[in-house]
Structure 1
Amino acid sequence: MAATAAGWVEVACDESGYEGEKLVEGSTTSFAHAGVDLSVDAAAECVRELRRRIRSPATEYKANHLMRSKHRGVLVWLLGPTGPLVGHGRVFLIDKTRYLLESLVDLLVNQEVRPLGRRVVRDEATRSMARLLRDNGRSSPMWPRFLVAANELMRVKERPETPDVVSEFFDALSPVAEALTGEAAGLAVKLAGGRSVAETFRSNLPSTSGTSPLDPLLPALVQAVRYWGADHHDVVIHHDRQNTLSPDRVADLTRVVGESSESGHLRRVELVESAVNAPVQLADILAGTIRTIADADAVGDGDAELLDLLGPYIDPESVWGARRWIG
């Protein structure tokens, strides 16, 4: 990645599958945040080539154009080794259920809430406990209720229909725990022993900042600055308009990145319209296509050819793994 003459890196970013703190019972199973460092001219040429190949009258191309079977060749070209994005695109990808379960284990077993700026990827012990819970608990008919209750327990923004989220969570845990055996049953005991931690977490929410331990967008942006600013260049992010990126949250983001010694600083975040910004439009397409491919794999409908194309793009800090990559 090359710095500008002024000494900083300019990156276009967009997301796909973002539903805030809602990690279950949403419209997508994955969240993807993409960064592209192509120049405006190079990105515009790429968009023109997409238009030439797809021949759709749409004013703005989206991932769904490329995910149509008749345009598979265009998708393979775009993501493939001879395409324009290899070496110029990076995607931070999150499996929402896995992210929720790892966050839950962090809270109730490790007794910590990961602050903004700390790496999202957990240690192997935490990841193993989350996998153990998922693999042994999801056969229970009460598993969906358990996931919803876990999501509500850790949401910063309370909803009026769930007045006592702590009791609801532990009520939902009980029938799932009863069906577990062996090591998984031992993990359920640890989770059940975390009630006081959960109550403290909920009682402290009014005094905390508005940053949620479940909302993946700001951690994705922190990771984007880490990657694109790895040579200690400052980073300017051009991001598709997103209500979550309020001035206060951008200020939090800038402060956290500034405290890190792993990369350059975040100079600013500029919110733009993807329809009139070719690099951001490509970031939107990259995030959307990779998220769609990941969603299909999550439900057992993975496409081997397309999954093989993702390697150069997926950030190793992602909380995701194609079935062939991570158990």
Structure 2
Amino acid sequence: MAADVREIACDESGYEGQAIVNSPTTVFAHGSVHISPEAAVDCMAELRARIRSPATEYKANHLLRDKHRDVLLWLLGPGGPVHGRAYVQLVDKPRFLVRVLLDQLIDAPEREATLPVTDEPRWRRFLAAANALLRTREPLDPTAADAVFWSIDDLRRGGLPPAADETLALLAKSRARADEIHERARTDPPAFAPVDLLAPAIVNAVAHWGPVRIVHDFQSTLTPTRVAWLRAAAPDLVSLTLVDSNDDPRVQVADIIAGTVRVIASRTDPELTALAAAYV
């Protein structure tokens, strides 16, 4: 069995812990690469030779500059060093938050209900309140449940498409469950926070690659309790080692792949979108 275990390196882009909305990014990306340390050293050396930046640490933003487009095309292209050896999970954070809220507050037979996600101020207030309600670590907002249900009433007064109004009507009946979730976060926080993006992304990476040993950029949210949850959720996770990205070129490559694909996903650029699609 040991011969079948791969070692992959992982990093993320657009991760702000449990802050899903009102954060700098709207898309989260988790990148994983299956390359040798020697191949990663060569990849980073080639990036430095092509970009010629004096920066100590190379990041995705170096490749996303217009003047380095050819370098990005080389990195992601079929002849590049990571083609067929990298995988990226992308998550639209506001839509993820809506799905989690529905899963937490609405019974299973009714969870197919959906809500629109827009930048309209009332919806933004609703999303911010939902994010506060579903947090499991400080700072916890004692008024979060009140804010969620006030936002629901406010949205329903403004006139909505029937499907959205029906979903909000279901949510409006879930106050007792919302209070229970918020009280549990205060008194007995679970090992896995429902609005955490990183832990399920690691589970997804394990599912993609099969039995793996993971070398991951250090994240304070990956506590021993959270790692124990990961092992239970992903039995094919053989080991998880947290490192400083500066000490492992494979993690640096994973970081660049995650960051470039995340930004490409938010742009209208057919050439780059086609290349990035091979990794998602």
What TM-score results when the alignment is normalised by the length of structure 1?
Answer: 0.79
Question: Aligned to 2:134, which of 128, 151, 154?
Answer: 154
1:188 offset after TM fit, Å?
Answer: 1.7
Q: In 2, Cα distance between the equivalents of 1:108 and 1:222?
A: 23
Q: In 2, Cα distance between the equivalents of 1:276 and 1:167?
A: 46
Aligned equivalent of 1:57: 54
Question: Aligned to 2:152, which of 150, 169, 173?
Answer: 173
Aligned equivalent of 2:116: 134
CA RMSD of aligned residues (A): 2.1
Once the two structures are superposed, residues 153-203 of structure 1 have per-residue CA deviations (whole angstroms, 9 ceiling, x without a partner) of: 11112535x212111110111111222132222222112122222122223
1:222 maps to 2:203: yes
Q: In 1, Cα distance between the equivalents of 2:4 and 2:183?
A: 45
Aligned equivalent of 2:219: 242
Name the % identity. 45
Contact 1:140 1:176 in 2 (8 A): no
1:11 offset after TM fit, Å?
Answer: 0.2
Q: In 2, Cα distance between the equivalents of 1:208 and 1:24?
A: 21
Bigger helix share? 2
**1:1-327 paired onto structure 2 within 5 Å:** 6-110=3-107, 126=111, 129-130=113-114, 133-134=115-116, 138=118, 140-159=120-139, 162-179=141-158, 180-205=160-185, 206-229=187-210, 234-258=211-235, 265-294=236-265, 296-297=266-267, 302-314=268-280
Q: In 2, Cα distance between the equivalents of 1:141 and 1:10?
A: 45
For the residue of structure 2 that corresponds to 1:31, the secondary structure is strand
Contact 2:15 2:198 in 1 (8 A): yes
Once the two structures are superposed, residues 208-246 of structure 1 have per-residue CA deviations (whole angstroms, 9 ceiling, x without a partner) of: 5231001010101111111111xxxx3111111211112
What TM-score results when the alignment is normalised by the length of structure 2?
Answer: 0.92
For the residue of structure 2 that corresponds to 1:268, the secondary structure is strand
Question: What amino acid sits opposite 1:174 in the alignment?
Answer: D
Q: In 2, Cα distance between the equivalents of 1:88 and 1:249?
A: 27
Q: In 2, Cα distance between the equivalents of 1:164 and 1:68?
A: 43
For the residue of structure 2 that corresponds to 1:14, the secondary structure is strand
CA 1:276 to 1:306, structure 2 compared with 1: closer, same or farther past 3 Å?
same
Q: In 2, Cα distance between the equivalents of 1:95 and 1:292?
A: 12
1:78 offset after TM fit, Å?
Answer: 0.9
Gaps of 5+ in 2: none
Gaps of 5+ in 1: 113-124, 259-264, 315-327
Aligned residues: 278
Q: In 2, Cα distance between the equivalents of 1:240 and 1:159?
A: 25
Contact 1:241 1:273 in 2 (8 A): yes
